[in-house]
Amino acid sequence: MNISIKKLLKDWVIPPGYIFLFNKYTAGVIKNKSPDTDIRLFKDQSDIKHKHIGERVFILGAGSSIKRQDLKQLEGEHVISVSNTFVHPDYVLFRPKYHVLPPIINSHGHLYPEENWIPWLYQMAEKTFEAEMFCHIGDKPYFESNKIFQNRVVHWNEYVKWDEQPITELDLARVPSIWSVSEYAITVALYLGYDEIYLIGFDHDWFNGTLVYFYDEKKEHIMQPDSSRLSFADAEFQMRRHAYIFKKYKFLYALEKNIFNANADPEHYMDVFPKVDYDSLF
């Protein structure tokens, strides 16, 4: 009976286009299994689990809200940055310890040709200084063939399809599939064992447009993101996507209850995590 209900929901309630896009975003999660040599890479990372017990960390998202926050206060703090956040003018002051990327080729390769990613990744390698990288194992051959992140510590992860059930443990070799790099960045912070995790720039304000960041994507993103390539991301798509993301957030929060939303906007609608005043943390 349950199987029939699930099939009915899949076939008639969830739009086929959503299923297609979900499969596209999670492409390579299951079918591109890592070879034994890559599995050993995951085992080699066990020494970083709970590495930062007793410490706090700020995860830097790319939302426009951080334009209203003094990021100079992050100097001397542990920071995890993501994607294109290295263009922030104060980045050089706090030099994040870790930088997190979503899957590049497997999940985003359909948006731009592979060769378009190379200049951005080279720039990232330069601008993120000696930050340790967290990347998808599916990008490893691409990074190696293009000599990206050479002489850098890179921690590899693999994704598995998430059934939206509670998350009880964290394993970089089996990270529940993501819709946003923010999910993975929080997973990394929890895996590293930080006692307090503060989120800044986690705006999720999709209703303000598909490309709303603290930076001008036409001037400060070498990839030159194009909103026309994201025409599929209409309101329905975004609402379904964010329901998935927020559900994941709730399960990640339930693990330690140590994640806090330090967004600049006190009226920010993301109510998954307790809200705290950013300036009061210093």
- Reported as a single tens digit per residue, the pLDDT across 190-240 is 999 999 999 999 998 877 777 778 888 788 887 766 666 666 678 888 889
Q: 18-75 pLDDT, tens per residue?
A: 433 444 444 444 444 444 556 666 766 778 999 999 999 999 999 999 999 999 999 9
Backbone angles phi, psi at 55, to 5 degrees: -120, 165
Q: How far apart are CA 28 and CA 244, in angstroms?
A: 19
Domain that holds residue 17: 2-281
Number of domains in the chain: 1
Q: Which residues contact 180 (CB under 8 A, 6 or more apart)?
A: 102, 241, 245
User: Looking at residue 55, which CATH number applies to its domain?
Assistant: 3.90.1480
Single out the residue of 97, 108, 176, 113 nearest to residue 138, CA to CA: 108
Say which amino acid occupies 82.
V
Backbone angles phi, psi at 143, to 5 degrees: -65, -45
Q: 83-119 pLDDT, tens per residue?
A: 999 999 999 999 999 999 999 877 665 667 777 889 9
- pLDDT for 227: 63
Exposure class string for 84-107: b at 16+ Cβ within 10 A, else e: bbbbbeebeebebbbbbbbbbbbb
Backbone angles phi, psi at 205, to 5 degrees: -95, 60
Say which amino acid occupies 220.
E
- pLDDT for 238: 83
Q: 134-148 pLDDT, tens per residue?
A: 999 999 999 999 999
Helix (H) or strand (E) holding 57: strand 56-60
Q: How far apart are the first and last CA of the chain?
A: 55
Judge whether 164 and 130 are in contact, CB under 8 Å. no
Judge whether 95 and 114 are in contact, CB under 8 Å. no
Residue 167 token pair: 């998350």
Residue 9 has pLDDT above 50, yes or no: no
